Amino acid sequence: MALVAAAGGFIAALPVAATAHAVPADGPVRLPPRWWSNDTPRLLSAVMAVTTAVITYAVYLRVGWRISAPGYWLFSVLGVGLTYTDLRRHRLPHAMVGATWLTCAVLFTVESIIDDRFTTLTQAAVSGLVVSAALLLTALAAPGQLGLGDVHFAGATAFILGALGWQVSATAILAALIGQWIFALVTVARSRERSTKLPFGPALFGAAILAMIFA
């Protein structure tokens, strides 16, 4: 099943790569027409496909087969696309983040009802709400440091990882914030430009995957 998840991730990464590459600086996000033959660099598609396959394989080994497994798979697939989008456009489209959040919310709810245990759903909900609220207050208090896309993606990440345990969610968010802070210090020291805008998505997704697998 892990190999099936990896193969599915490899295939799904191709339209995700085309969509991520076509994301405009602002405005709606859409799957490009004839995405299989558009101007998306082939090397980019190949790198994203292989990366997604490796991540989905590792995540499946950690999560195992359960009702919520497709949610973690979707988070892994779209997370790679969001990482590239944030690096290229400095934005985390709400549509892509929301699709992951909504899918996992439905699957977590169904899983909790079938297992007659709502601890997992409660952990996920509390983790997502606490992180969303904390980072939203930070974004409002320090404009320009975090965007609403960052807040949305961090909340979704905390929600998804919270279902695996408080420590997994907390480890990922803290590691991402610390890593981003160190990266910002190094960047400012090298460029001496305090207004440099740094993407938060790559640090957040990378920390989430590592925490999910090893925490």
What is the average pLDDT across 190-215? 84
- Reply yes or no on whether the pLDDT at 186 is more than 90: no
pTM comes to 0.91
Q: Please write the tens of the pLDDT for every residue from 147-169.
A: 899 999 999 999 999 999 989 99
pLDDT band for 192, please (50, 70, 90 cuts): low
pLDDT tens, residue by residue, 81-122: 999 999 999 999 999 999 999 999 999 999 999 988 898 899
Across the range 178-205, mean pLDDT stands at: 81
Report whether pLDDT(134) > 60.
yes
Which residue is it, tokens 């798979």? 73
| pLDDT value for 12 | 96
pLDDT recorded at residue 196: 65
pLDDT in tens, 26-83: 888 888 888 887 788 999 999 999 999 999 999 999 998 889 999 999 999 999 999 9
Which pLDDT belongs to residue 38? Answer: 77
